[in-house]
Amino acid sequence: MENQCIAVIGAGQMGSGIAQVAAEVGYRVILHDVTPDFVQNGMSRIDKALSAHVQKGKIDEEKKRGILSRIQGTVSYDQARDAHVIVEAVFEDADVKTHIFSTLDGICRPETVFATNTSSIPITRLAASVRRADRFIGIHFFNPPQIMRLVEIIPGLKTSPETVRQARQFVDSLKKESVLVKDVPGFLVNRINAALRLEAYNCLLEGVASVEDIDKALKLALGHPMGPFELADFVGLDIGLSVLKTLHDGYKDPKWRPSLLLEKLVLSGDLGRKTGKGWYDYTSGQKVPRTDVQF
Ligand SMILES: NC(=O)c1ccc[n+]([C@@H]2O[C@H](COP(=O)([O-])OP(=O)(O)OC[C@H]3O[C@@H](n4cnc5c(N)ncnc54)[C@H](O)[C@@H]3O)[C@@H](O)[C@H]2O)c1
């Protein structure tokens, strides 16, 4: 692995986590973003996460330095030239993603595997932007990638069995578990989770129970670590809305129609933990029920 290089495109929440996981198991990692500030934000996030490991005694300072030394931040796509695997984790926007992949298609070696971490865009659609559709695949991590053990492996229509094998091997090398999933809207986990979330929104709108009680009920009765509203705030309401829109567009089934209340929250700029407010209010540093809006 020492000689193997992974390029992660997008140094945000997911990209920085994926870069950290890859560097922890020994890969050399190129971490790319559009500006030096964004790259630096990603590097700082990794530094902070590793410092927390040091404080808990999980790793020592030397190990932390070793992991960080394997990650090279950059704003140049050329740095990804020698990567064995590209993992793209930029904004959930098909045009942005296809532009990046078609650029990298002209830079990377023909055998490099191109993987996308998209939550909702069809893999087959993104694969159509490159000449190597057989080497294109979905490798879908969950948030936070450093902690969540599952990764969905999603072949597109033209992905070769060899690329599937390499993707599984790559995920194994990261000490993660994988499941093989068809390229359908929402893939597997987000599809099932979206159905649960929509039912939670319906219960809220019908006045069956409050946000807090729905979360409490699912945690205590079904053993979920987070309730559907807490989880939606953690993931980001914009991402959750985009997943519902994809399911609705993809299956053409009204059962996936996004909740109007969710759309209103996103329009208002309340996107969950990252903006301080979503289904809950986090502005005090604690998660408390919202008092400024009526759900
Ligand atoms: N957040 C989650 O819970 C989650 C879970 C699984 C998958 N995903 C998927 O992962 C991807 C990233 O999500 P995120 O939450 O990390 O987003 P984010 O907004 O935290 O990070 C996205 C990063 O991509 C960068 N970027 C934008 N355009 C770029 C370009 N042309 N080249 C390089 N970098 C560029 C941005 O500057 C930003 O730093 C999305 O496709 C999302 O659907 C997210």
Averaged pLDDT for residues 36-61:
97
Residue that has been written with the tokens 């030397």 in this structure = 62
- Residue 5 φ/ψ, nearest 5 degrees: -120, 135
Contact 44, 124 (CB under 8 A): no
DSSP code for 111 = T
Q: What is the CA(254)–ligand 1 centre distance, in A?
A: 28
Q: Which two tokens stand for residue 223?
A: 């053993």
SS3 label, residue 171: helix
Count of other CB atoms within 10 angstroms of residue 78 = 10
- Determine the atom of ligand 1 nearest the C-alpha atom of 119: 43
15 Cβ below 6 A of ligand 1: yes
Contact 36, 26 (CB under 8 A): no
Give pTM, 2 decimals.
0.90
- Fold agreement between 5-180 and 190-280: no
Mean pLDDT for the chain overall: 96
Q: What is the CA(147)–ligand 1 centre distance, in A?
A: 18
Tell me how far apart the alpha carbons of residues 277 and 280 are, in angstroms, rounded to a whole number: 6
> What CATH code is assigned to 5-180?
3.40.50.720
Contact 229, 279 (CB under 8 A): yes
Clarify whether 190 is annotated catalytic: yes
230 Cβ below 6 A of ligand 1: no
Measured at the CA of 29, the angle between CA 23 and CA 30, to 5 degrees, comes to 150
Predicted confidence at residue 170, as pLDDT, reads 98
- What CATH architecture applies to the domain 190-280? Orthogonal Bundle (1.10)
What digits encode the pLDDT tens for the residues 150-194? Answer: 999 999 999 999 999 999 999 999 999 999 999 999 999 999 999
Please give the helix or strand (H or E) that residue 45 lies within, else none: helix 36-55
Predicted confidence at residue 2, as pLDDT, reads 60
Predicted confidence at residue 1, as pLDDT, reads 65
Please give the helix or strand (H or E) that residue 37 lies within, else none: helix 36-55
147 Cβ below 6 A of ligand 1: no
Predicted confidence at residue 92, as pLDDT, reads 87
The residues spanned by each domain of the chain are 5-180, 190-280
Predicted confidence at residue 176, as pLDDT, reads 98
Contact 153, 126 (CB under 8 A): no
What digits encode the pLDDT tens for the residues 220-271? Answer: 999 999 999 999 999 899 989 988 998 999 999 999 999 999 999 999 999 9
135, exposed or middle or buried, with CB in 10 Å at 0-12, 13-18, 19+? buried
Q: Which two tokens stand for residue 279?
A: 């289904």
Predicted confidence at residue 216, as pLDDT, reads 98
Residue 136 forms beta bridges with which residues?
114
- Residue 118 φ/ψ, nearest 5 degrees: -55, 145
- Indicate which residue's Cα is closest to atom 11 of ligand 1: 89
92 Cβ below 6 A of ligand 1: yes
Predicted confidence at residue 119, as pLDDT, reads 87
12 Cβ below 6 A of ligand 1: yes
Contact 166, 83 (CB under 8 A): no
Clarify whether 119 is annotated catalytic: yes
